[in-house]
Structure 1
Amino acid sequence: MEKIDIYPFQRADNKKSVNKPLKISVPSLKVFANRARYLCSVETLPIIIMAFLCGRTLLFGELSPFGIAFAAGITAVFPEYGLLSAILALAGYTTVLQGSNLAATFGATALIYLLLGKYHLRFRQLRYGPSAVVLGLTTIIKTGVFAYQGADLYRYLTIFFEAALAAGLTYIFFRAAPLLKLKTVRTFKREERLFIVCALVGILAGLNGWQAAYVNVQRAFSSFIVLVAVFIGGPGWGAAAGTLAGAVPSLTSLVVPGLMGYYAFSGLLAGIFRHFGRIGIALGFLLGNILLSVYFNGPASITSALAEGLAAVALLLVFPVKGLHRLRTIARVSFGEPVKSARDQRIRNYSARKIRDFGRVFSEVAKTIEQVSSDLQTSGEDDLQQLFNGITGKVCADCSLYRICWESEFYKTYKNIMDLLAVLELKSRVTEEHIPTDLQKRCIRLKELAITINCLYENYKTNHYWKRKMAESREVVSGQLQGIATILSNLANEVRLDVQMQEDIEAILKSELAKSGQSVMDLTVVSLGDGRLEVNVSCPSCGGKMHCSKKINPIISKILGQRMTVFNNNYCARKTGESICEFKLHPARTFDVNIGMAKAAKNGGIVSGDNCSTVELRDGKLALVLSDGMGVGAKAAMESSATIDLLEQLLETGFDKNLAVKTVNSILVLRTPEETFSTVDLAVLDQYTGKAEFIKIGAAPSFIKRADRVDVVRHSSLPIGILNNIEVECIEHHLQPGDVVIMVSDGILDSHKDSANKEEWIVTLVQSVITTDPQNIADLILNRAIKNAGGLSDDDMTVLVAEVAAGPVQ
């Protein structure tokens, strides 16, 4: 802003006043240029064109409601464009009106802009507010101007009819103007469909009178609209668009509406040849155009008809194919049959309700089984009471000293039997010598008592073992049913989504992939909302050459105009061994994650008991899993591999991470009576938000290398497969580009035996590392750990490193 200093007049007798410059800000040319560039951007181009052409629209040769209505609707919805639309509408009026009619229209438009522009927030909340303003001001101003000139009754009726039309159009433009800035595809409302029709009528009528050599611009553009309609919807759309385009000249020039049949027949004929593409549409339209032109107007009109048809065909051929397919998608979604959409929505809601009901059933069954399992766990005291009853029934019931032992000396006898059971639990069998001395003095059936207790206790242990197994099994089933209930609930929410299949984009992608030599068996494109697309691809196996990410993904990303990433490539044929590869493409995420891993078996062996993996989950999340099986060698490898496989399946299916870990624990507890366990080190990274969630079950600490420090993530708990119930605690961290997550097994930590704090040497080493390459970091840590151990590792060692990097710019 340029500053101009202006010194005001100073009174001589005012001693308190001080000469201070009065600063006035005058906008510079740069500010004006920026505003002009903003108002003339591509985004405002439709408003500019429509405002000027609506101003030029004259109905029946004397009514001009479109310009005022469009300026009023835009001012009420987008006040920043109000002045621009009003000026352009007035510019259009100057080309078709003159004299007092032009002056009255100028005055009405200016007052409407001033009133709606100043109080647009109030009028925006009133459904019919802008329409009432247009009706009132247009009627008052034009009536006043023409009354001053002495108008007749016909003029007053014309004024009122024009004001009423302007008010109705204002309502349509006001309710549907947000369409001009719509970013996503959706079903249009009634007012929005009327807006499109009125906008087309205004544009076509505004082109009236323009001529370029042999070409009538209005007719050429009408023909182009018919051709686009045929491409979008076929013969029916072409005939409808032809009827609309043919009706406009009769509204503007008071001519016989013969052009309606002219354009309708041409559109119908073009639609018949639609299957031959744009060339077929063009040839069909030109054929109908020339035939009817000769029939209605004679051979002399063939030159102009051919010129107008060729101009429309040229516009169709130069129009981008992607734009035409985009218009077809918008038309199918926006003008879809309401009854069908409502019926489909009802079917989706009904299906979602049924799925949710099934989910509730599974949830209730899970709660019931959990309650039964809880009851079984509390039945241990009852079993012990039954053991005492068996002892008294078989040994003491008919004894002469029963009253003394179990009535007079009850507590002593009870304590003596409990002590004997404790000895039995330690030694597995008792004899008369193990019976407490106090009980030996009173009992006359010592040998019988020892034999009976041995037998009954063996039965008690067996029953207790199987009851515990039943309780554990019920807990596993309950957890799995609860997980299924959660999955069904999520599925019900997905079913309720209005997922739109992008068939036009599918056709383009298949065509371009075929031209590039990529064989695709099936391809579907689904709109996920917010402008995001999901592309599902099935293709012949490439034998693990990663054609999905190296060849197919770049082609699809280029066509869609946004970078996509391969999702769910865990089912690559090189892993599954199948002849068909299936994968998905999702929009590129905010963060990329690069993985590095290094492993070494104990004493240089071949089989390591540690295992690690990465799993791509839904919603742009990546799971890092590391597991250390009990011991070393093949058996430990089997345990850790089973743990990771189970976790992968549960997480990919949709189980919550906490429930997945608990389910794996229960399965490992039930799988074998032998003592087996594995550690679980799980990190789930959200590649859209950078949030990292760590779950550690008996696992070694993890490390997060940041720009200025190294954070240690630790949690103490027993490994899975030992206790029936485990508490899963989630530790959250937020990651930034450049951060590195390092997960290690206990063999890495224990390699430095001289250090009291086993984590310290890793923190020191990671801090000194300059590189952020995950594979180099993993190799460096493993080599240093082997060196610390004296050249041969005393335990299996594994390092899993994930580097968080910023995603590429779209």
Structure 2
Amino acid sequence: MKLPAFLRLLLEKDGKTGGCLEIDKPFEQRLALTATLSFFLGRTVLGGSIAPFGPGFYAALRSLGGTGFSLLSALFMILGCVTLFKWEQIVYLFLAVMLLTVFIKPEKESRHREVLDSLVAGLVAFCVRTAIGFFQGPSLYAYISAFIEGLCVLVAGLLSFSAIAGIKESPSSRTARQALLALVLVSVGGLQGLYAFGLDVQMVTIMAGVLAMACVGGPAAGAIAGLSGGLIASLTGSGDPFAPGLLGISGVLAGIGGWFGKAESVLGYLASGLLLSFFAPSGTIVSKRLLEQMVSCAVIPLITSPVKKTLGRYLPELSDESKAKVVPQNPVDPLKLKVAAVSNALSEIGNLFSQAAITMTGSGTAPGRDEIASNDVESKGGPVTSTIRYLVERVCAECDERSFCWEEEFGAVYEAFTDLVKKMDLSGRLSIRDNTVLLKDRCHRYGELVSELNHRKEIERLERKISTFDGETRKCLAFQYRCLGQILSVRSISPEPDIRVSTGNRFSGREERFRVRLKGKTIPAEGAQKPGDVWVRYDLGPGKTLVVLADGMGKGDLAAKQSRESIDILKSLLDCGLDYDSCVSFLNSALYLAWRPDGFIALDCLLIDHETRRAYFHKLGAPPSFIKKKDGNVLVIRGSTPPAGAATTVPYLGSSEPVEPGDSIFLVSDGVFRSSPVPARAEHLIVSRLSRLKESSLDDSVKALITQSLRYQHKTPPDDVTVVGAMIEGV
């Protein structure tokens, strides 16, 4: 860029200084930086009326940069203010610049120059704003606002002095570079009111900056950038009051993803938008926010090594050199730290969903559209009055006899309407043929009234169902996020190989007292080639043995697929280190969120603890189990919990019984009960059959129960028949 000789001479009139910013950039770039900052700082208005950064920046530039740069700054500053089309701000900035030009002398060396010139700038701003307020109409609010603006100009002047003077005198000054970065952040407020293709340019710019800082500096830098940018957006009126918190959370999740790569940073950033959409007041705001986030992701390809190096100069904490110098006293594996951070983030997200569900439960069902419009009426007359007003507006408004009913016969009509609404509340639905309603003989539009009331009641029912489903979904998500956080927290701690614990799927280091031998047999249902029942043994360690029998809904390949998938999920969660109770609850919540009527699974879980010598039963829609003691007595273990996936939570109401070597435990599917000639007495028949088996082996006992189930079905049972036996043997 070639400048005219007279303009270059004006800007570099002092051969010693060579301009205002003595950094390793060409003269044209320094000029462009000054003009850009001046333009956007002139447009930055806080709260719709306070504009402190323009005068503060001009005062510092006037004192340190010389006449040329200060005049250029004033020109672009006023030009930026003109684009706001607010004449009060234009007059204020023009008068402030004129007075500062008179009172501040360029390049005048004096003690405490920064403080004195900043005080002068604050006094000038106070006087100009007071004079403008006097002509518009003197008031106490105008004087207080002028005083606050003067203080803001004082702070902005000191910040500008630190940025300009520090960089000019000591190019490696860390404070000066951070002050300049703060000025650049503040200048983003000058993008207020600018829109492109329906998108807020200021919010897109802030989101791009948050994503860039999070990708380069991690969660801390992303959180600080999000909070700072959101604060600027809120103060300038572009963002909602919750913008700092929303952008801060987005910065944290994007920073966590940035540990693993740019793509993961973008996924974390977009995931934060999806999670926070639960708290958006409307779908339009959600779609607009997500679209702005997607557009801001275009900054990722621009984050190259030179860009990271430049950011490292202004924020040394983000540079690779500074990170390499920090050597912790107790070095920890970085991967474990990252896993622990992700675990904490998942747990916090789970708590967030849990608090949202509690808030929804505490506030009751979601209000309907008619309830929102009539909150003032409900506060005075209650829901009955609100419903009557709704009927009058929807039905009586176009009736020819409205004046007669609601003016001449007001008392009787109001009483009849009240009776109609109360009958609706009691019955839940009205019929036109109901002859007990007083209003039926008085109103010739009675049918429309009944239709409107039934419609309103149905809408309320649907809203309550949606609200309930939303709350249950949040509870399930909260539990699953906490479980995932628990899995990662277990993974982030490397246990000693010889240490055993007695909780979850870790076991005691003591010697085994007995062992468990299993035998199972399954007969497919009639017309099915593959049984839908699946059972599996899982050793949680030398001290615990888990046996799970899964029975999918129906029979054949579909039921077998559902049972196998449920078993695989349960085994995967156990392999990850999640405790047994949480694994069962996690599987239940996953099946509930799948929301398939045929997706319920009957789970019969048996956990044998060798150390405590007890058998723990956890039944989800499963039939009774049987324990045959070594003395011949038979115990029946029943459960009353619905199948997995039928409810949001699993009550921890499992039962336990002591076991000794010589005892046998039998898990059976519901096909054993359905195959009985009298299903109501199937339990009694099984107990009798086991009692008659005196010294039989485990294989013989399983075969005997299978044979008894097939005796009356000609070897073609209507449902899958499965018997799993567990023999407790001494070591």
Q: Same fold (TM over 0.5)?
A: no
Q: TM-score range by the shorter chain?
A: 0.3 to 0.5
